């Protein structure tokens, strides 16, 4: 559904994206991660037709961008990280305008509002909405026309725990309906929970692309944290259990200081991310 | 460049809904219309419409000419049976020719217009108006006929050098009395000038100011980007704005003129002028919006635009080398044709067909519509990148 081949985006001498190659199939939640300034937003701008690539090809549903943008627009939705509603109008009016542009029946508006739990506030002016409600309205707007590809930039930012759950459930439902969800997020728990495949970008280059499980299997580390007192001074140390030297050192410490407190540490996806992007900076 | 009805309907609905919720904008337009109705309820409108009959009774206005050319002979023919005028050759006048109650239009020799004494000046036909007593507005009926008939003769709005003097210079007591009396705008301006000023403000605000403000807001918020990601094209986006803001400007102008000069509503010249002026101001608004990515910039750019137009007109007025600038200003043509359409609406020598077919009108339409096409192209290049 999404094909990116050797994408290069340069702004003068600054290289925003370099040699990016990716594939995302239909019915998949594809996580697109990276530190700030890695090139994620630039890539999404190319995918949504807002930017022309310096080199490389980008295809969505077989249509090459930017020449095939008019054919791609009805197939795509884009949930940006900033709200862009028509503030003077109500949530319902905002959705009705976009529904009219796609020639959709009015029932779609009520359906979208219901899915995002915005029905009660639908007739209030958007200027009165909270940040979370505005975010949900954005998502509601972009799923009106049941897009084949949905680009989401931080879809759960500013949402409370309940709304976050609603949105994640919705993204999962969209995936099950065959939509390709292209998701950028800084929330690693979200990546672990809903992403089928993840690409990590750093300094404009693709670091690695695989399923979250494969990332964990390949990069997770077994670590313990040890706390003990020496001459009245409290000490903490972390030991990598996969490192023989560290294991031997720990064994020696256990023998020398019998009053140790040992805690095993969970290695999460966030740690994988930090490990991969931190190494990329070295 | 496709225009799909369902897309236009949705975009027009969006713009209308935003306008209806924009209290300050509606207040401003409402205020301009109220000014029109207040002016209409003052004595000015009744005087303007009643005056021709009074002028035709007494005193009989004079037209004094220095050169019995084809123009003067045409005026004589046009006046016959329509308006009572006394045509007098200046060589036949004595030293103190005018009675104190005379209304006189002197068609003098062409002179070099060097008002304010700067630059080489421009040669213009000199017309001097003489009025009795202390009320220059007494001249209004005969000057309206004279300008209308001259426009019909020349086939375009003539650029006379006009001066105005009383027949009898006021005494010191009269000058003091005049200074003590409160003066309203109705004392110094004719109805067409007041109406033209109002219409220009309505056009500028409705077709340019509001367009710039609301579109800049959409750019800044990112709404434009969101709309362009739908099947709507940029051309449809701007076309819908032209429909809404153009309709607002023309509709409000019609409402204002229905109070001031209702006869103008049946004048093809009036409507054509309004449409062309609207196109010009839409073009200016689109260009300003193209260069304004946030809401702060448009105010500065609009002000800069007004300064540029003022400077162009000033240079054209003072220096012959810059006179061509005035022929590039659609606002100048718009003002002239608006005045002409309002004057001709009640004139017995109405000749809108000749004005609509004049070279000046062709230039007016060419500049305004050409500017609109350029603005659309520039806007598409700059705003689609958002």
CA distances from B372 to B218, B299, B331, B384 (A): 20, 20, 14, 17
Q: Kindly give the pairing relationship between strand B104-113 and strand A28-33.
A: unpaired
Residue of B nearest to A94 (CA): B14
Asked whether residue A138 is assigned to any structural domain, the reply reads yes
A42 min Cα distance to partner chain B (Å): 13
Asked whether residue A272 is assigned to any structural domain, the reply reads no
Asked whether residue A70 is assigned to any structural domain, the reply reads yes
A100 min Cα distance to partner chain B (Å): 6
Domain shared by A258 and A128, yes or no: no
Segments in chain B forming alpha helices (H): 5-20, 23-41, 43-57, 70-79, 140-154, 172-180, 185-188, 191-203, 210-221, 223-228, 234-260, 268-290, 296-318, 323-326, 330-344, 352-356, 359-383
Domain shared by A232 and A205, yes or no: no
ipTM: 0.79
- A66, containing H or E segment: none
CATH number for the domain that contains residue A83 = 3.40.50.300
Asked whether residue A175 is assigned to any structural domain, the reply reads yes
Domain shared by A204 and A229, yes or no: no
Interatomic CA distance for residues A17 and B123, integer angstroms: 65
Average pLDDT value for chain B:
81
Domain shared by A228 and A200, yes or no: no
Taking every pair of Cα atoms in chain A, the longest distance, rounded to a whole number of angstroms, is 77
> Could you give the angle at the alpha carbon of B236 between the alpha carbons of A44 and B374, nearest 5°?
95
Q: Kindly give the pairing relationship between strand B122-131 and strand B161-166.
A: parallel
Domain shared by A89 and A45, yes or no: yes
Q: In what order do the strands lie in the sheet with A261-265?
A: A233-240, A223-230, A261-265
Note the pLDDT of residue B51. Answer: 45
Q: What are phi and psi of B312, to 5 degrees?
A: -60, -45
Interatomic CA distance for residues A257 and A231, integer angstroms: 11
Asked whether residue A249 is assigned to any structural domain, the reply reads yes
Nearest to A88 among B7, B21, B225 (CB): B21
Asked whether residue A281 is assigned to any structural domain, the reply reads no
Domain shared by A155 and A124, yes or no: yes
Lowest mean pLDDT among B32-46, B82-96, B167-181: B167-181
Contact check, Cβ <8 Å, B13/A100: yes
Contact check, Cβ <8 Å, A100/B9: yes
- Among B156, B157, B375, B365, which Cα is nearest to B272's? B365
Domain shared by A240 and A142, yes or no: no
Interatomic CA distance for residues B210 and B107, integer angstroms: 44
Contact check, Cβ <8 Å, B385/A87: no
State the average pLDDT over residues A253-273.
Answer: 75
Domain shared by A187 and A234, yes or no: no
- Among B190, B184, B124, B130, which Cα is nearest to B159's? B124
pLDDT tens digits, B184-206: 554 555 677 788 888 999 999 99
Number of domains in chain A: 2
* pLDDT band, very low/low/confident/very high, at B386 (cuts 50, 70, 90): low
Asked whether residue A77 is assigned to any structural domain, the reply reads yes
**Cβ-Cβ contacts under 8 Å, B222 against chain A:** 80, 82-84
**Cβ-Cβ contacts under 8 Å, B9 against chain A:** 100
CB B40, CB B210: distance < 8 Å: no
> Which pair of tokens denotes residue A102?
């796609």
Contact check, Cβ <8 Å, B18/A50: no
Residue of B nearest to A145 (CA): B230
Asked whether residue A44 is assigned to any structural domain, the reply reads yes
The pTM score is 0.76
Q: What are phi and psi of A113, to 5 degrees?
A: -60, -40
Domain shared by A11 and A110, yes or no: yes
Note the pLDDT of residue A139. Answer: 93
Quote the distance between the C-alpha of residue A204 and its chain's center: 16
Domain segments of chain B as ranges: 5-42+191-383, 57-183
Contact check, Cβ <8 Å, B226/A82: no
| Residues of A engaging B, defined by a Cβ cutoff of 8 Å | 48-50, 70, 73-74, 76, 78, 80, 82-89, 93, 97-98, 100-103, 141
- A171, containing H or E segment: helix A161-176
Higher pLDDT, A159 or B121: A159
Higher pLDDT, B131 or A268: B131
Mutation test of the interface with chain B: which of A84, A99, A134, choosing the one with the most B Cβ atoms within 10 A?
A: A84
Contact check, Cβ <8 Å, A100/B221: no
Domain shared by A21 and A65, yes or no: yes
Q: Which residue segment(s) compose the domain that A262 sits in?
A: 221-266
């Amino acid at each position: 559904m999404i094909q990116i081949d050797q994408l290069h985006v340069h702004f003068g001498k600054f290289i925003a994206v370099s040699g990016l190659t990716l594939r995302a199939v239909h019915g998949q939640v594809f996580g697109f991660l990276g530190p700030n300034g890695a090139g994620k937003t630039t890539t999404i701008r190319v995918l949504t037709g807002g930017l022309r690539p310096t080199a490389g090809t980008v295809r969505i549903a077989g249509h090459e961008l930017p020449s095939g943008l008019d054919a791609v627009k009805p197939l795509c939705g884009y949930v940006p990280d900033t709200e862009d509603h028509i503030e003077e109008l109500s949530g319902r009016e905002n959705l009705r305008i976009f529904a009219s542009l796609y020639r959709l029946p009015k029932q779609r508006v009520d359906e979208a509002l219901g899915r995002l739990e915005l029905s009660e506030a639908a007739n209030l002016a958007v200027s009165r909405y909270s940040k979370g409600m505005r975010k949900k309205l954005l998502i509601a707007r972009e799923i009106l026309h049941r897009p084949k590809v949905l680009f989401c930039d931080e879809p759960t930012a500013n949402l409370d725990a309940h709304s976050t759950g609603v949105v994640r459930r919705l993204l999962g439902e969209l995936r099950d309906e065959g939509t390709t969800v292209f998701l950028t997020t800084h929330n690693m728990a979200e990546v672990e929970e809903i992403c089928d495949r993840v690409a990590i970008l750093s300094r404009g280059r693709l670091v690695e692309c695989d399923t979250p499980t494969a990332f964990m299997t390949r990069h997770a580390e077994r670590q313990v944290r040890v706390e003990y007192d020496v001459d009245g001074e409290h000490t903490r140390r972390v030991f990598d259990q996969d490192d023989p030297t560290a294991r031997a050192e720990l064994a020696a410490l256990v023998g020398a200081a019998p009053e140790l407190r040992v805690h095993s540490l969970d290695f999460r996806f966030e740690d994988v991310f930090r490990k991969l992007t931190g190494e990329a900076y070295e | 460049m496709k225009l799909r009805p369902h897309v236009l309907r949705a975009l027009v609905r969006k713009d209308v809904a935003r306008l209806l919720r924009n209290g300050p904008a509606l207040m401003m337009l409402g205020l301009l219309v109220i000014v029109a109705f207040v002016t209409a309820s003052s004595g000015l409108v009744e005087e303007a419409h009643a005056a021709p009959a009074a002028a035709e009774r007494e005193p009989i206005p004079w037209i004094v000419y220095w050169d019995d050319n084809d123009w003067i002979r045409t005026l004589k023919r046009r006046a016959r049976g329509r308006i009572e005028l006394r045509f007098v050759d200046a060589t036949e006048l004595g030293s103190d020719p005018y009675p104190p109650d005379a209304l006189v239009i002197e068609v003098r020799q062409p002179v070099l217009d060097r008002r304010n004494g700067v630059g080489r000046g421009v040669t213009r036909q000199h017309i001097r108006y003489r009025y009795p007593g202390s009320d220059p507005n007494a001249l209004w009926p005969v000057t309206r006929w004279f300008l209308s008939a001259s426009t019909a003769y020349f086939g375009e709005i003539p650029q006379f050098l006009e001066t105005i003097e009383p027949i009898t210079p006021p005494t010191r007591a009269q000058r003091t009395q005049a200074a003590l009396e409160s003066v309203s705008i109705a004392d110094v301006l004719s109805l067409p000038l007041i109406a033209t000023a109002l219409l220009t403000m309505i056009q500028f605000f409705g077709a340019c100011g509001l367009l710039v403000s609301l579109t800049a807001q959409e750019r800044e918020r990112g709404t434009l980007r969101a709309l362009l990601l739908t099947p709507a094209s940029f051309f449809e986006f701007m076309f819908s704005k032209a429909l809404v803001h153009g309709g607002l400007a023309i509709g409000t102008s019609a409402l204002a003129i229905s109070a001031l000069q209702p006869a103008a509503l049946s004048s093809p010249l009036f409507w054509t002028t309004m449409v062309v002026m609207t196109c010009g101001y839409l073009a200016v608004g689109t260009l300003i919006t193209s260069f304004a990515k946030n809401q702060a910039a448009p105010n500065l750019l609009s002000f800069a635009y007004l300064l540029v137009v003022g400077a162009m007109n000033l240079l054209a007025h003072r220096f012959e080398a810059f006179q061509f600038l005035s022929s590039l200003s659609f606002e100048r043509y718009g003002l002239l044709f608006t005045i002409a359409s309002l004057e001709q609406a009640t004139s017995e020598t109405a000749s809108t067909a000749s004005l609509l077919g004049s070279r000046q009108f062709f230039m007016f339409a060419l500049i305004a519509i050409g500017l609109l096409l350029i603005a659309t192209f520039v806007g598409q290049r700059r705003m689609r990148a958002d």
